[in-house]
Amino acid sequence: MGMSCCGKPSLSRTWYFLIAICLGIACGLSGVSFLEQFGKICSEIFIRIFKCISMPIISLSVIVALANYESDESMSKIWKKTLTYTICTTIMAAIISAILYLIISPSSFEIAKLGEHQAVVDNIKGYIQYFLDIIPSSIFSSFIEHKVLSVLLLSVILGLSVRAIGNDDARNTTISFFNGIHSMFFAITKIIVRILPIGLFGFITVGIIEFKDVNVGGMGQYFLVIILANIIQGVVILPLWLASKKINPLKTFKAMAPALSVAFFSKSSSGTLPITIETAETKLGISNRISRFVFPLCTTINMNGCAAFIFTTVIYVMQNNGIEITLFTMATWVIIATIAAIGNAGVPMGCFFLSTSLLSSMDVPVTILGIVLPIYGVIDMLETALNVWSDSCVVKVVDKVVTKSE
């Protein structure tokens, strides 16, 4: 009885999720090797499933949206609102982290203590090369290598190209093909949703194990800035924004809770995308016309948590390497962190490697990131949940604004 005919989760499915959460916590805390390994296997299976279907769904959603909709006023409004809300929420996250950094003022490490953490990431590409890699060398390489921005670029080109086909029959056949494949992947998503408690069990087991291994030590103030920035953005800023649009924040949060829990423990907003779309459509009542177009865009460019992490980490590493941090420097990095976050891929540890790329491109030593790395798993969980929550808020507002104007 897990799913009713109208698509709303029944009481039994809620219990499945609660049982999965309890079992995951118990296995993570048990210390029993077999149970921990079983949880890790469940987690890895679902992460691979999400990776397998997330890139095609992002691509097909964009292609279908561009191929099916003309450049009318409604479509133009969806584009503009999505980009505006994305940029505003992301830069707000960076600003909050800047304010918190000034208030908390994390103390520096002594560089001498960092010797054992040399060579943290020796093979990180330069920042310019990172953007060059957005251009795919083949149609399939972007999907195989899980490059979200490359997939988005390729999908936009394909979607616009389908609309440009001169022959009506050929164009309609091509559109029907992409529509069919798109529908097939969402049918697969519905099946995955039914067995999702197994994946949630695995994610929570692995998450609890990682929490046990965290040693904050002297990174407490740095860690606190990032955590508070994410919490304030998710609990204060975004709900106030929803309320200003006459949308109930608590009701929206409760509706999206399944997707947020998966995002938290999977640490991948792009991997969570199928579940996010399914949850928004069935529990929030979002139009699939909007959800299947806006969510893939938001998953790629709406990275609130990443902006906060990039700003705080870059400033903290620069401070620890004796670089003077002025208000102008912080203001500049608010802008850079926002732009960099928009260009980040929604995959595990994406913000960590992007921050390293930025620092390396400026010849700033990154040895301190060896200390950040052990606790980044916990930070990544919170960041990903915030990113998906922000995506959900943007989609909800866009849906209301567009629906109201039609």
- What Å distances lie between residue 345 and 114, 215, 348, 368, CA to CA? 29, 27, 9, 23
Distance of alpha carbon 376 from its chain centroid, rounded?
15
pLDDT at 3: 43
Q: Give the C-alpha separation, 178 to 185, whole Å.
A: 11
Ranges assigned E (strand) in 111-240: none
Q: Which residue is it, tokens 């699939």? A: 288
Residues listed for the chain: 406
Does the pLDDT at position 218 exceed 60?
no
Q: Give the C-alpha separation, 59 to 140, whole Å.
A: 12
pLDDT at 353: 67
For 393, the token pair is 């808020």
Classify residue 267 as left (phi > 0), alpha (psi -120 to 50) or beta: left
| pTM for this predicted structure | 0.69
pLDDT at 111: 45
Q: What is the pLDDT of residues 67-118, one digit of tens each?
A: 766 555 667 788 788 888 988 999 999 999 999 999 988 877 644 444 434 3
What average pLDDT does this structure show over 207-232?
77
pLDDT at 5: 42
Does the pLDDT at position 279 exceed 80?
yes
Cα end-to-end distance, the chain, whole Å? 37
Exposed (0-12), middle (13-18) or buried (19+): which is 349, by Cβ within 10 Å?
A: middle
- What Å distances lie between residue 171 and 59, 165, 191, CA to CA? 18, 6, 31
Does the pLDDT at position 125 exceed 80?
no
Confidence of residue 212 (pLDDT cuts 50, 70, 90): low
Does the pLDDT at position 216 exceed 60?
no
Does the pLDDT at position 247 exceed 70?
yes
Confidence of residue 225 (pLDDT cuts 50, 70, 90): very high
Confidence of residue 121 (pLDDT cuts 50, 70, 90): very low
In this structure, the number of other CB atoms found within 10 A of the CB of residue 44 comes to: 13
pLDDT at 254: 92
Give me the amino acid identity at 142: S
Quick one: which of 121, 122, 112, 111 has its CA closest to 370?
Answer: 121
Quick one: which of 382, 371, 404 has its CA closest to 303?
Answer: 382
pLDDT at 214: 54
Of the ranges 47-51, 119-123, 129-133, 354-358, which one carries the lowest mean pLDDT score? 119-123
Q: What is the pLDDT of residues 10-36, one digit of tens each?
A: 445 567 777 888 888 898 888 888 888
Q: Give the mean pLDDT of the chain.
A: 78
Classify residue 54 as left (phi > 0), alpha (psi -120 to 50) or beta: alpha
Q: Give the C-alpha separation, 203 to 174, whole Å.
A: 38
Higher per-residue confidence, 248 vs 340 = 248
Of the ranges 49-53, 165-169, 249-253, which one carries the lowest mean pLDDT score? 49-53
Q: What is the pLDDT of residues 303-351, one digit of tens each?
A: 888 888 889 988 888 888 778 888 888 998 898 888 777 756 555 566 7
Q: Give the C-alpha separation, 18 to 251, whole Å.
A: 19
pLDDT at 268: 76
Higher per-residue confidence, 398 vs 366 = 398
- Of 36-40, 145-149, 372-376, the range with the highest mean pLDDT is 36-40
pLDDT at 244: 93
Q: What is the pLDDT of residues 144-158, one digit of tens each?
A: 777 766 777 888 888
Q: What is the pLDDT of residues 164-183, one digit of tens each?
A: 888 888 888 998 898 888 88
Higher per-residue confidence, 397 vs 380 = 397
Confidence of residue 252 (pLDDT cuts 50, 70, 90): very high
Q: What secondary structure does DSSP assign to 214-231, as a single string?
A: ---GGGHHHHHHHHHHHH
pLDDT at 93: 92
pLDDT at 10: 43
Find out whether 20 and 197 touch, Cβ atoms under 8 Å: yes
pLDDT at 329: 86
Find out whether 382 and 228 touch, Cβ atoms under 8 Å: no
Does the pLDDT at position 238 exceed 50?
yes
pLDDT at 405: 61
pLDDT at 112: 40
Distance of alpha carbon 129 from its chain centroid, rounded?
22
Pick among 3.60.20.10, 1.10.150.20, 3.40.50.2300, 1.10.3860.10: CATH of 11-405: 1.10.3860.10
pLDDT at 162: 87
